[in-house]
Amino acid sequence: MTEGSFSAPPQIHTFDGVLSDFDGTIVDSTDAIVKHWHKIGNELGVDPKAILATSHGRRSIDTLALYDKSKANWEYVSYVEGRIPQEYGSDAIEIPGARALLSALESSRANWGVVTSGTRALVDGWLGVLGLAHPRVLVVAEDVGLGKPDPRCYLLGREKLGLENPGSDSIVVLEDAPSGIKAGKAAGFKVLALASTHTLGQLRDAGADWIVKDLESVEVKGVEGGRVTLEIRDALQ
């Protein structure tokens, strides 16, 4: 299959709400996370490369359970994840277009929120370090019994947005990881994927409805009653 090109004509779509993943979608903290897992791996006596091969898009509590069940508790996970922005803050940058998109969603009082496999301590830390708009709706790792690709995190996001009524399934999920794309699709939502951390083939295979390079291809064109009209530019075709 040919890879295609990021050249699709602009599309306008209106959604009841927008739910976005965080790491790899709003913030690129790859370097920080690599350093974090190297530190944890060394502490556990586990090859960090083995951890990193499966950790992206998964909750730390689920990853740690594979290697040391005594560490797979929220007190420990929140503590170590809370240290990441403090210790490696200079190793993270915002995804291109993220600041403008989040500011537009927040200032227009759109129905939007963040649904992440990270802990509250991690998300709050990065938002503070980078000075990004803080979502009023936030679903974090400790809020759900199962992480992505299970859809319950995104279903909880819809519930927190107050969009549980029949017909309120027109929600778009912003994701970068196959596990998150699968979670969004399993919830019955549309998924716009960013080619920031995985191959185009992986994003396609996971079921993404659109694939873009980054959030500079996504613009808020209007908000009415919380419903969001987005323009999606230069998607993969």
Pick the catalytic residue from 23, 28, 176, 214.
Answer: 23
d(C-alpha 71, C-alpha 9), whole Å: 48
Half-sphere exposure of 178 (CA within 13 A, CB side): 11
Give the residue from 84, 151, 95, 161 showing the smallest Cα distance to 123: 84
Is 23 marked active-site? yes
Pick the catalytic residue from 21, 28, 176, 214.
Answer: 21
How many C-beta atoms surround the C-beta of residue 73 within 10 A? 13
SS3 145: coil
d(C-alpha 130, C-alpha 93), whole Å: 8
Residue type, 223: V
**How much of the chain is helix, strand and coil, in % rounded to 5?**
45, 20, 35
Asked if residues 170 and 209 have their Cβ atoms less than 8 Å apart, the reply is no
What is the set of active-site residues? 21, 23
